[in-house]
């Protein structure tokens, strides 16, 4: 775990972000919204229950990158050292929406819109992991996202229809094997030999969703 005197480096939109002298309790959500002005990631409950703050975090796993949806409101920034962060602002290429965004539009999966960036990022997690997206996979990946407007059906329909969209220019299914992304992460890989990180999951379960346990 970094202390206020240590440096945290992570990748965001193909750039390496270097953060110095950060308080260990600064959350990824606070840093994205307040320091980087990335307000597309929303704060709802601020305690890991609603999914409004969902982003995707990538971590080297051998010669691939493992991408996971995480709740940015309970993810401390120092735990991102050596990792990649993907936010809702990372997806569109100019005016062209990513399939997970376009499908939400086409299926009317957004009403007030507050939950939408979180759902979009959970759908990206599903999209990157599954060639054939089943209803069960969608239900599982969206289980941490709450919506009080839509009744969920159009959002699930958006997920089920993802296979019909052409591959996007970025954040397509081959990204976990993208050599440039892998090389970038290797270049900021934290050195071994430090004290072993130990951060307890808020639910004390070590679940993949919170992804805090080290």
| Binding residues for ligand FES (CB under 6 A) | 43-46, 48-53, 71, 73, 110-115, 147-150
**112 or 200: whose CB is closer to ligand FES?**
112
Shortest CB 124 distance to ligand FES, Å = 16
CA distance 27 to 78: 8
Strand-pair partners of 8 = 19
**108 or 186: whose CB is closer to ligand FES?**
108
**46 or 60: whose CB is closer to ligand FES?**
46
Residue environment code for 49-58, b if the CB has 16+ CB neighbours within 10 A, otherwise e? ebbbbbbbbb
Quick one: the chain helix, strand, coil %, rounded to 5?
35, 15, 50
Shortest CB 122 distance to ligand FES, Å = 11
Collapse the DSSP code of 96 into the 3-class scheme (helix H, G, I; strand E, B; otherwise coil) and give the result.
strand
Cβ pair 171, 86 in contact under 8 A: yes
Shortest CB 41 distance to ligand FES, Å = 9
CA distance 177 to 173: 9
Shortest CB 109 distance to ligand FES, Å = 8
Residue 1, both tokens:
């775990």
Shortest CB 127 distance to ligand FES, Å = 19
**48 or 168: whose CB is closer to ligand FES?**
48
Shortest CB 166 distance to ligand FES, Å = 26
Strands 83-86, 7-12: pairing kind:
parallel
**2 or 29: whose CB is closer to ligand FES?**
29
DSSP string across 15-39:
EEEEEES--TT-BHHHIIIIIS--T
**117 or 168: whose CB is closer to ligand FES?**
117
């Amino acid at each position: 775990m970094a202390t206020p005197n240590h440096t945290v480096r992570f990748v965001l939109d193909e750039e390496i972000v270097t953060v110095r002298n950060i308080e260990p309790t600064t959350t990824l959500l606070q840093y994205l919204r307040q320091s980087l002005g990335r307000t597309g990631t929303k704060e709802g409950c601020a305690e890991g229950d609603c999914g409004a703050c969902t982003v995707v975090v990538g971590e080297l796993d051998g010669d691939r990158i493992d991408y996971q949806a995480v709740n940015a409101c309970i993810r401390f920034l120092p735990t991102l050292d050596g990792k990649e962060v993907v936010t809702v602002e990372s997806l569109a290429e100019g005016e062209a929406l990513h399939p997970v965004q376009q499908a939400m539009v086409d299926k009317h999966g957004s009403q007030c819109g507050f939950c939408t960036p979180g759902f979009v990022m959970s759908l990206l997690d599903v999209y990157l992991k599954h060639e054939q997206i089943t209803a069960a996979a969608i239900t599982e990946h969206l289980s941490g996202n709450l919506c009080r407007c839509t009744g969920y059906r159009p959002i699930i329909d958006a997920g089920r229809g993802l296979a019909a969209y052409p591959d996007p220019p970025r954040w397509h299914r081959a990204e976990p094997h993208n050599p440039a992304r892998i090389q970038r992460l290797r270049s900021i890989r934290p050195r071994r030999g430090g004290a072993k990180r130990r951060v307890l999951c808020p639910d004390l379960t070590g679940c993949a969703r919170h992804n805090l346990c080290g």
